[in-house]
Amino acid sequence: MIDIRQLREDPQPAKDSLIARGDDPARIDEVLAADGLRLKKQQDFESMRAEQKALSKSIGRADPSERAAVLAQAKELAAKVKEAEAEAGAASAKAQELLAALPNIIIPGIPAGGEDDYEVIAHRGSKIRDFAAEGIKVRDHLEIGEMLQAIDVKRGAKVSGSRFYYLRGIGARLELALLTCAWDLAEQHGFIPMTTPTMVTPDTMRGTGFLTEHSEEIYYLPADDLYLVGTSEVALGGYHGGEILELGEEPLRYSGWSACYRREAGSHGKDVRGIIRVHQFNKVEMFSYCRPEVSQDEHQRLLALEEEMLAKVELPYRVIDTAAGDLGTSAARKFDCEAWLPSQERYLELTSTSNCTTYQARRLGIRYRDENGKTQPVATLNGTLACTRWLVAILENHQQADGSVYVPQALRPYLGGKEILEPVPNA
């Protein structure tokens, strides 16, 4: 949530942010008008209540002949106070609703525009292979996965419907190896490992900013009034909800391992083959709580760890600075790492890391004490360190002519030393 005091003092940065996102800057004026009405209604109520208290005290001192009239006046005023209180409450709720619906203010300097207006920061990692020069006909990850008997989408669809799958044999082992490697890397860099709940309350989902433009993506369990998370960011963000943290110079860092669920609403016909865009997957997510003034440095740290993990699996990739209109509600800036996908000759997003500044913490009531002992909202950041989708890029980029797959050296200790994944005969 944006600080209303910041909007009152200088609304222009918030307006500029909405313009960069492709949104209507008049929303800021609407919020400020609602806030002004809230303040007026609250003042009217408090003034009327003070008058009521003064009148109540005068009843005992009133002349007996006037007491009936004073009581009648008090009764009439009580009704007006009740009405004023209701109006103040309604105005407050409306102002809060409009403020809560505003997206975070972006960090100056990021690209304006929508999904296609990102800025490429760098191309890194392994060299993109020339499969034609190697005499290899490129197979996609599903064909390779089926040759390895590692992926089974047909039975996934039979059991659960489209966009579900089984990872079996070496596929299941490879996913576990990848996620364990990521978790180890996070722990080496001071992130506390966490297995997290995959069902959360509406307050937690709303507090992290996901019940806005992302709400159609979320599975809801009405009988329990719980949501299935699409990322452990939600559970990690809610972990310290309502708390005052002891934050020193170093951020408080967690790495969450969880299953994630997404409805993929609106993606009909997009990435329907294989396991690129699915309803359920596993992920290791980094999450940091820090002082706001160091949040941009922490953001670079998360990005560097994502790149370190991509280097471990030996993939060619690029880093992009996501455009404002493609940011989630909570994010003030987001970097994506996209790996090269040989079968489609395009880049595929594998990681994203977002700086949410104080937006989530204000909603969740997470604070720290500054040097003067005053409580202030913390900044929160998140970043993907590995997920099931990485298997797509690993299988395709490391495929060999016979359908076998080279195992990146960093993953071999987690796979019993395997250097090559061999196709299964008659698969």
Average confidence (pLDDT) per 10 residues, the chain, 427 residues = 92 96 95 95 90 75 70 82 92 94 95 95 95 95 97 97 96 98 98 97 94 84 96 97 92 97 76 90 98 97 98 98 95 98 96 97 96 94 98 98 96 97 86
Query: 155: annotated binding-site residue?
Result: no
| Residue 307 designated active-site | no
Give the full edge-to-edge strand order of the sheet including 192-195: 119-125, 316-321, 333-341, 346-355, 379-387, 280-290, 252-261, 192-195
| Residue 291 designated active-site | no
Q: How far apart are CA 147 and CA 393, in angstroms?
A: 16
* pLDDT score recorded for residue 215: 82
Q: Which of 243, 349, 404, 422 is catalytic?
A: 349
Q: Which of 21, 352, 367, 396 is catalytic?
A: 352
**Which residues face 256 on adjacent strands?**
194, 285
* pLDDT score recorded for residue 5: 93
Query: 278: annotated binding-site residue?
Result: yes
Query: 217: annotated binding-site residue?
Result: no
* pLDDT score recorded for residue 70: 66
Q: Which of 85, 277, 314, 422 is catalytic?
A: 277
* pLDDT score recorded for residue 191: 98
Query: 195: annotated binding-site residue?
Result: no
Contact 279, 272 (CB under 8 A): no
Q: Which of 163, 173, 262, 362 is catalytic?
A: 262
| Residue 352 designated active-site | yes
For 123, residues 6+ apart whose C-beta sits below 8 A from its C-beta are: 316, 317, 318
* pLDDT score recorded for residue 78: 86
Helix 26-59 and helix 64-101: axis angle, to 10°? 160
Query: 126: annotated binding-site residue?
Result: no
Query: 30: annotated binding-site residue?
Result: no
Q: How far apart are CA 218 and CA 220, in angstroms?
A: 6
| Residue 49 designated active-site | no
Contact 2, 18 (CB under 8 A): no
Q: How far apart are CA 201 and CA 205, in angstroms?
A: 6
| Residue 67 designated active-site | no
